[in-house]
Chain A
């Protein structure tokens, strides 16, 4: 039975693990920007780890429930309230029919995930319930929307994710990157400056990409190849990896996230490792960010650590 949306929040969308197989025609994977927080919220309410949940950014929605449910909120420090009474983050709790769920102002991080036992049963589009607004696959919540809930148990209230398995949200973060792609267009000084600069996230930070400011990167002198365009940072339009960092004009690097434009004509110089996309997802404007170079082997080791941590999360409640 449905959840009623009273107020939609700033940009609240339904997200799951995302969709694969359509990036070649410009439809990106989408899905929760912080996949770890999504799976944590789902474990808390007894759902499969990638069931669809609400992704709330900076400002949460106001929702009411037409029947009892078990819910959990993870990710950003966007504390939930039931009928005005505080409820904990990273713990599952019950709501009764008629209860109103809303949120305090965000205290840390940027994106919170609201999972409901049974999952939110939005329409499956190209194999996923994830919203991709730019392409007309779903849209952010609007007041008056009714969200159906799938069948699920309500016996999981009171589950808690221990502190050790909650990420530390900080205004100063390190994001690991594998250099490559078109990084040869950076002059040696430009490359050093990219890795040495403490970048500041600008307000231009959404599901498509996160734009940073900090310094101007020096490029090599080059005649742009045929078809590339006139700017020294132009390339013949090429595919953009998810997590790739492009630097139009050598200023203001942009990290593409899970709603990425699938290609374009700006040189990319590095790619954020998959697990650290969660760190980017929780960056609010003004977050001070260092990009730390790792090798592919180190990226794979980080990937194993991330999987082990996800497994510990899964093991908590089995």
Chain B
């Protein structure tokens, strides 16, 4: 990474309580990794008066109380951290590898997408048929393989409660790109696996949405009642930096998972993992298969 790239951060005031920092205009794993590294460092220092530290895809923001920490003082601190982090080559992200089972082309998103065909680029196809076609694939099976074989990194959590935005960990020319709906839907089933632009997502709650819908996961990812064991410490499952592997399942497996959710015993499979950027960028496919071994190991 050139030094020119590491000094393109753009700082902006967001009123009297926020500083907004754009690390790069375009999405890239490098920009995302810098956002993680800078916000991790800021969390460790956690100056008095900082209320929220929100890493995002290629940017981050800090919400603060300017009566406690003077805006320019905080701005200088953020610039200093940016300098220290540099291109984040030494940064090791303590994260997890997470397996999300997906029933692709499920009945619920299929029913929903049929209700909103007039909002879609291709009214005669399903979302996943459209996505397969415009990504040059012969059928939806090939698309599902591309979607589920390589892991994704959670580049941002938000929009609404606990919704992960995910960026596929493959070279840019292999990334799946699918435009959002022409006009947003007013309905999306809970736990829909979606896609918009270069980002995948999982809808944490039922609601409006504009991403293409490919399937559903039986795994709850938001549990405000904190009833399932994965939610003992937090009502939100996903954290920025989580690495996600989608695993296709069939209807019987889906129903089995749902039974476990209803019984309150369901757990998402996850393993701790220290992620560094350079080894990945040097050999993405090799790195990914080693990561998946970590997920599989018991």
- Chain A contacts to B: CB under 8 angstroms: 20-27, 125-126, 134-137, 177-178, 180-181, 225-230, 234-239, 241-244, 261-265, 268, 271-274, 296, 299-300, 302-303, 307
- Chosen A-B contacts, 15 in total, with CB atoms closer than 8 Å, are A20-B52, A23-B63, A137-B224, A225-B27, A226-B26, A226-B27, A226-B198, A227-B27, A237-B199, A239-B60, A239-B61, A241-B14, A242-B17, A261-B160, A271-B14
- Chain A residues positioned under 8 Å from B224 (CB to CB): 125, 135-137
- Chain A residues positioned under 8 Å from B28 (CB to CB): 226-227
Other-chain contact of B12, A20, A180, A243, A274 (Cβ < 8 Å): A180
* Chain B residue at minimal CB-CB distance from A226: B26
Taken together as a complex, chains A and B put the C-alpha atoms of A178 and B160 apart, in Å, by: 25
Q: Could you tell me which residues of chain B, from 190 to 211, have a CB within 8 Å of some CB in chain A?
A: 196-199, 204-205, 207
Minimal beta-carbon separation of A141 from chain B (angstroms): 18
- Chain A residues positioned under 8 Å from B56 (CB to CB): 237-239, 263
Is B57 within 8 A of A237, CB to CB? yes
- Chain B residues positioned under 8 Å from A241 (CB to CB): 14-15, 17-18, 20, 61, 63
Is A263 within 8 A of B159, CB to CB? yes
Is B158 within 8 A of A274, CB to CB? no
Minimal beta-carbon separation of A152 from chain B (angstroms): 28
Taken together as a complex, chains A and B put the C-alpha atoms of A230 and B67 apart, in Å, by: 40
Known contacts A25-B162, A262-B54, A265-B197; A134 and B180 CB within 8 A of each other: no
Other-chain contact of B25, A137, A180, A236, A302 (Cβ < 8 Å): A236
Taken together as a complex, chains A and B put the C-alpha atoms of A26 and B203 apart, in Å, by: 12
- Chain B contacts to A: CB under 8 angstroms: 12-18, 20, 22, 25-28, 51-61, 63, 66-67, 71, 156-163, 165, 167, 172, 179-180, 196-199, 204-205, 207, 222, 224-225, 234-236, 238-240
Taken together as a complex, chains A and B put the C-alpha atoms of A262 and B238 apart, in Å, by: 15
Minimal beta-carbon separation of B116 from chain A (angstroms): 18
Minimal beta-carbon separation of B202 from chain A (angstroms): 12
Other-chain contact of A26, B17, B57, B157 (Cβ < 8 Å): B157
* Chain B residue at minimal CB-CB distance from A24: B54
Known contacts A180-B13, A236-B27, A241-B63; A24 and B157 CB within 8 A of each other: yes
- Chain B residues positioned under 8 Å from A234 (CB to CB): 197
* Chain B residue at minimal CB-CB distance from A227: B27
* Chain B residue at minimal CB-CB distance from A235: B25
Other-chain contact of A299, B15, B55, B196, B199 (Cβ < 8 Å): B15
Most buried by B among A23, A136, A239, A273: A239
Other-chain contact of B161, A134, A230, A238 (Cβ < 8 Å): A134
Taken together as a complex, chains A and B put the C-alpha atoms of A20 and B222 apart, in Å, by: 18
Taken together as a complex, chains A and B put the C-alpha atoms of A22 and B14 apart, in Å, by: 18
- Chain A residues positioned under 8 Å from B239 (CB to CB): 25
Is A237 within 8 A of B156, CB to CB? yes
* Chain B residue at minimal CB-CB distance from A238: B59
- Chain A residues positioned under 8 Å from B157 (CB to CB): 24-26
Is B161 within 8 A of A20, CB to CB? no
Minimal beta-carbon separation of A208 from chain B (angstroms): 9
Other-chain contact of A300, B16, B53, B205 (Cβ < 8 Å): B16
5 tightest CB-CB pairs across the interface, nearest first?
Answer: A227-B27, A241-B14, A271-B15, A262-B158, A136-B224
